[in-house]
Structure 1
Amino acid sequence: MVPYTYRMVAVTLSWALLPVQCLSIPASSQDHSTVQRRADTRAPDPIDQASFDTILNYATYAGTYLEAPCKKPPQGAAVVAFVQNDTTETQQSLFRNDGAREVVLAFPGTANPTDIETDLNFPQVAHPACDGCKVHEGVYEGWLSVADETMRQVKSAMQATPEFKFIILGHSLGGGLANLAYVDMQRAGMKVDLVVTYGELAVGNGKYADHVDSIAGATDDPSQPGMFMRVTHANDGVPLLPPNALTSIIGQDFVQHRTEYWAQDGPNGEAANISTTFRCYGQGSQACNTGQRGIGINGAHISYP
């Protein structure tokens, strides 16, 4: 029998069956005209236009997974490959966009009961990326179940278009899969130009998060955000999963990596815009998503810009 706490988490995760609703952001009861500086972190900075445009652009891929392989790709893109492991129910779609001159690998979020089992299988296992690196067992098993074929497909696509950029994306559970794919592809010497995740759950311990920051070139220097954009929204609770209040009982910690971009609700419920989106500092800034204390899969998680 699954313990009570696990059952409650499973119920929460079942909300991920709902689609990502592009540019649909729930109303806020708070006035966010200013962001208060908190003692334990630097206040976030306003996002630049190029970064905001990047977030909006790739969200069109992150929300395409409900009918995989995607039957209606984002404008200008075409599905060139697809993988699904029938045991783990892990899947991905590989797109090519000739106009943008890029290949895009997109991982879906939780979409079936097997995915929920993956989410709940969060005891940590060693990861070869660094000494002491540990990661979420379920998400890692999901990635490994499609890793060989995915890397083969990506290598083939990039050999055909070597001048194109290669982008990795994911939403929710898919964000964790994108994270692990990036690390393993980097270890394999493959070129990755950008990673963007939306509502990514935490997939590793502090040493693993430090490793991701290191290879992505992410620091708290305002001029060095790195090439991994971890997008969060309002009080989305998934970036706080698995809950350390639970995992600490068995001596584990889950730490998010840099660089977070936090899309806050507008003061009058308007859609997210550049003035309500911020570049955050640290691994889980209290001034951004972490400080909102969201719980599980809520309205903020299924509604990203």
Structure 2
Amino acid sequence: MTLEISPAGRDALQAWLERASSLDGLADATVSAYRADVTEFIAFLTGHHAEPQGLAPLARIGVADMRAWMAHLRAREVAARSVARKLSAVKAFYRWLAAREGFEPTAVLQTRGPRFQGKLPRPLAEDAARAMIDGVEHQARDGWIGARDAAVVTLLYGCGLRMSEALGLTGADVPLGDSLRITGKGGKERVVPVLPIARRAVETYLRLCPYPPDRDGPLFLGARGGRLDGRLVRRAVEVARLQLGLPATATPHAMRHSFATHLLSAGGDLRSIQELLGHASLSTTQVYTSVDEARLMEVYAAAHPKAR
């Protein structure tokens, strides 16, 4: 589809993506998704107007164009969540392009995406989270691999790490101290406390691992000493889930959801949980309030002056 975009339009798109990557710190996967979505949008305009979409045609975009594009997506039965993602990418591109070229992008920015019901996190109960860690450790054939998988899952639950963040740790990060500096999505750094149980889990793995990790190499290693593939951890969690009779939503990422939900249930505030999870926006963290609405109502009743 890039062949259907004029050279000027293609250059503008590339300049925006480079800026988003370098200055805004967007992850490579996000940049790739933006590229695909905006390229698809400009290609649609090319076919809709039967002419290459250079800078001048892009600046002349109107409400009718946006309606035609949204109708095109509906005709293709694109899911509402995907439509919203595509529209978000197009709006971000047009904000930048309008500022650079000096035109008014109202037709794009005022376009409303479809409504959809966001998926709520599916955390595990506290006893199920503990059972998952034990199950992952004991279902492995080799003791050190069980200890490795248990250490990874403990970091997901005990520190709220993403799988990629846990597997991104290096030999320089051990021995673990009271806190850990994590580089998350978009290069955003945060400091997370390390619970004694997580520290012990990593220490056990290191003691049993036949391949001492290099300082500059990955902390978690595969059976042959290479970097651990996250699919192996997901498989270990799946096996443990089946053994424990837990639902299909009991995934490695559910351990991170459980970390946040259990903190909220214990009285943690959203701002602190946002920092611990590395969410850029508080609205992302607020989904956990729906999971624990009953707990929030209790806090409201106990703290609000009019409720007493």
Bin for the TM-score computed over the shorter chain: under 0.3
Richer in helix (by share): 2
Higher relative contact order structure (alpha carbons within 8 Å, sequence separation ≥ 6): 1
Richer in strand (by share): 1
Q: TM-score, normalised by structure 2?
A: 0.26
Based on CA coordinates, which of the two structures has the bigger radius of gyration? Answer: 2
